[in-house]
Amino acid sequence: MAKEQKTLSGKLATNRKAFHDYEILERIEAGIELRGTEIKSLRNSSVSLSGSFAKVEEGQAILHNLTIQPYEHGNRFNHPPARPRRLLLHRNEIRKLQTVIEQKRHTIVPLSIYIKKNIAKIELGLCKGKTIGDKRETLKRKTAEREAMRAITQQTRRT
């Protein structure tokens, strides 16, 4: 019998804290420059996006604090878990991001990581930080929406 192969069409990891702490203005898809066993470890979903961010340094987009755990079956050529990784973007996209970051004081935060056609991709968000009042507003709105959905489902069940 053939082994069942795991499909990797879905997201490997998401950064839920980014949706809470930041207002996402724009989404960008980028490739990641990985080494050796990093892709194998990534396919096992051994990745953490929390606390990671991107900067534009010397004309290149660099992703910092992305933690990809070492591959469990690796050897001495395993990678360091939290090394800076280069993002693969077009030159025009990098320039645009750099100007927005410098002028409007926004930040680039990774939202999710996934594999698309056997290539590791990351979804970046051009974000603006939320204030405490904004966070409370979104929390109130979400709870109101949840309560409304519960009321609707209860009404449909009664009839």
pTM, entire model: 0.77
Q: Is the pLDDT of residue 4 over 50?
A: no
Q: What is the pLDDT of residues 87-108, one digit of tens each?
A: 999 999 999 999 999 999 899 9
Q: What is the pLDDT of residues 21-43, one digit of tens each?
A: 899 999 999 999 998 888 888 88
| Contact criterion met (CB below 8 Å) for 20 and 112 | no
CA atoms within 13 A on the CB side of 4: 2
Residue-range domains of the chain with CATH: 11-130 (2.40.280.10)
- 86: Cβ contacts below 8 Å, ≥ 6 apart: 32, 33, 60, 61, 62, 63
The model's confidence at residue 81, banded by pLDDT at 50, 70 and 90, is confident
Phi, psi angle pair for 117, to nearest 5°: 55, 45
pLDDT of residue 1: 36
Pairing mode, if any, of strands 22-32 and 53-57? Answer: unpaired
Q: Distance between CA 127 and CA 146 in Å, rounded?
A: 25
